[in-house]
Amino acid sequence: MMENKKPWIVFAVVVVVLLGLTVPLQFLVRREVVVGLEAETAHAHAHAEEDHEHEHEHEHEHPEEEGHLGAEVPLGVNLIANYGFEVGTRGQIWGWAQGGLGQGAVIYRDDIVSRSGKASAAVITGGASGIDPGCFRKLDALPRAHDVIFEGYIKTEGLHGEAYLKVLAEGRTGEEENSYVLVSSTSDDVDGDSDWTLSSVRCYIPPEATMVWLEVGLYGDGRAWFDDVSLVVEEREDTLASGVNLLKNPSFEQGLKHWHIFSLSPEPLLEYGVLPVGPDGGPALFLQDHAPGTPEDKHTGFYQAICGLYGHQGTLDIHGWIRGDDLDGEGRVDVVAFTAAGTINQRFSQGAAVGDAWREFRAEIPIDGEVASVWIRINLDGNGRLFVDGLEAVYRE
């Protein structure tokens, strides 16, 4: 027995020393693999997190510093640290900022509900309608002239509205702090009572982009959770097809799927849905603001973004049907082109007729190579009822 004891003690000491050396290493590896955090970038991300506390338009960065970030962006890997919302406290999710007009919405790290790991990002609106409450972050690297694919899992409970992932690319001219939108595109929305559902959005980031934001959030009333998000940069896939309708669900046969709610109203009293009243015999969009005396400058509506137009020369032919009923204000379809020149141009409006007749409208939007994206937006300003159906956006070379 005495002969065996000394080697045993030596062995125990060696084990303890090895554990002491490898446990921190294992922790770091686990942290990176499980959580997505790289230890050496924590400092830089901490600064990024501070930046998130500011609103988008108050970002301060040097354009020359941003100018050479594009070349360093790695392709094919998830660029989001803390993609599973594992790191943080209930009130603060590491690497993510909280935003949106919540009307009392609570945005938090939920350590009970998760798709993987132990936590997710959650939003509860608490009975009132929320306008984009959620979490957002700025991409540290700029994937200029590339496609980005933003994906993640969304779970909803009693959500009247929609939960989504959004990519927002902004540009800026000179020293001005005012930024302008180049691309704003949202993923397939999730609503109602949905278990974890993969949602994704792919869009092209034009070379003029100076900031790219990622957001997970909701519109409406209810609860939503987000987990396992990823942002992957790929070479451009130029999939712009000519001669076909580029809009998804253009005639509202799938309800409001693919149409993202857009509102500047702090308290929108919005009713929307589909009614089988369209000129095509199928469902049409029905939009109504019940609030009596709603001012005409309160825009509420839906949009769908068409991306991937950059570098193309041709026209975008718009066609559809619109019908107004008891409108106190205006209903219309706007086509908003976001260009590298930094101005919103090619905005075409169509006033709604008061009465029951469907009215056909057409517009031809020049695509000059610098149009980064186009929104087809259905607007209701003021109150009343608006019907829209059979929308088409066809690119022709």
Smallest distance from Ca ion to CB 390, Å: 6
Of 4-12, 134-142, 147-155, 251-259, the segment contacting Ca ion by CB under 5 A is 251-259
Give me the residue label for tokens 């446990």: 23
Q: Which residues lie below 8 Å from residue 53, measured CB to CB, with a gap of 6+?
A: 97
Nearer to Ca ion, 217 or 308 (CB): 217
Of 65-73, 145-153, 165-173, 227-235, the segment contacting Ca ion by CB under 5 A is 227-235
Nearer to Ca ion, 103 or 194 (CB): 194
State yes or no: residue 265 binds Ca ion (CB under 5 A).
no
Q: Of the candidates 289, 389, 391, 395, which one interacts with Ca ion according to CB under 5 A?
A: 389
Nearer to Ca ion, 215 or 370 (CB): 215
Smallest distance from Ca ion to CB 321, Å: 9
Q: How far apart are CA 350 and CA 98, in angstroms?
A: 36
State yes or no: residue 282 binds Ca ion (CB under 5 A).
yes
Q: What is the DSSP letter of 31?
A: I
Q: Which residues lie below 8 Å from residue 205, measured CB to CB, with a gap of 6+?
A: 142, 143, 144, 145, 146, 147, 148, 169, 182, 183, 212
Q: Is 329 exposed, middle or buried (0-12, 13-18, 19+ CB in 10 A)?
A: buried
State yes or no: residue 278 binds Ca ion (CB under 5 A).
yes
Nearer to Ca ion, 51 or 111 (CB): 111
Nearer to Ca ion, 370 or 389 (CB): 389
Smallest distance from Ca ion to CB 120, Å: 5
Q: x/- site string to Ca ion, residues 291 to 310, per CB under 5 A?
A: --------------------
Q: How far apart are CA 173 and CA 188, in angstroms?
A: 31
Contact set for Ca ion, span 69-98 (CB under 5 A):
84
User: 151 with 203: CB under 8 angstroms?
Assistant: no
Nearer to Ca ion, 88 or 282 (CB): 282
Nearer to Ca ion, 66 or 280 (CB): 280
Query: Residue 375 belongs to what H/E stretch?
Result: strand 371-396
In terms of phi and psi (left: phi > 0; alpha: psi -120 to 50; beta: otherwise), the region of 333 is beta
Q: Of the candidates 280, 325, 328, 392, which one interacts with Ca ion according to CB under 5 A?
A: 280
State yes or no: residue 117 binds Ca ion (CB under 5 A).
yes
Contact set for Ca ion, span 8-67 (CB under 5 A):
none
In terms of phi and psi (left: phi > 0; alpha: psi -120 to 50; beta: otherwise), the region of 64 is alpha
Q: Of the candidates 140, 191, 227, 334, which one interacts with Ca ion according to CB under 5 A?
A: 227
Of 97-105, 275-283, 293-301, 365-373, the segment contacting Ca ion by CB under 5 A is 275-283
Smallest distance from Ca ion to CB 127, Å: 27
Q: How far apart are CA 45 and CA 58, in angstroms?
A: 18
Of 11-19, 71-79, 114-122, 144-152, the segment contacting Ca ion by CB under 5 A is 114-122
Smallest distance from Ca ion to CB 308, Å: 25
State yes or no: residue 251 binds Ca ion (CB under 5 A).
yes
Query: Residue 164 belongs to what H/E stretch?
Result: strand 146-172
- Cβ atoms within 10 Å of 60's Cβ, excluding its own: 7
Of 175-183, 206-214, 256-264, 280-288, the segment contacting Ca ion by CB under 5 A is 280-288
What one-letter code names the amino acid at 376?
A: I
What one-letter code names the amino acid at 179?
A: S
Radius of gyration of the chain (CA): 24
How far CA 395 is from CA of 101, 236, 327, 345, in Å, comes to: 35, 19, 32, 17
Nearer to Ca ion, 117 or 255 (CB): 117
Smallest distance from Ca ion to CB 74, Å: 23
State yes or no: residue 110 binds Ca ion (CB under 5 A).
no
State yes or no: residue 152 binds Ca ion (CB under 5 A).
no
Backbone phi, psi, residue 309, to 5°: -85, -15
Q: Residue count at the site for Ca ion (CB under 5 A)? A: 9
CA 255 centroid distance within chain: 20
Residues that bind Ca ion (CB under 5 A): 84, 114, 117, 227, 251, 278, 280, 282, 389
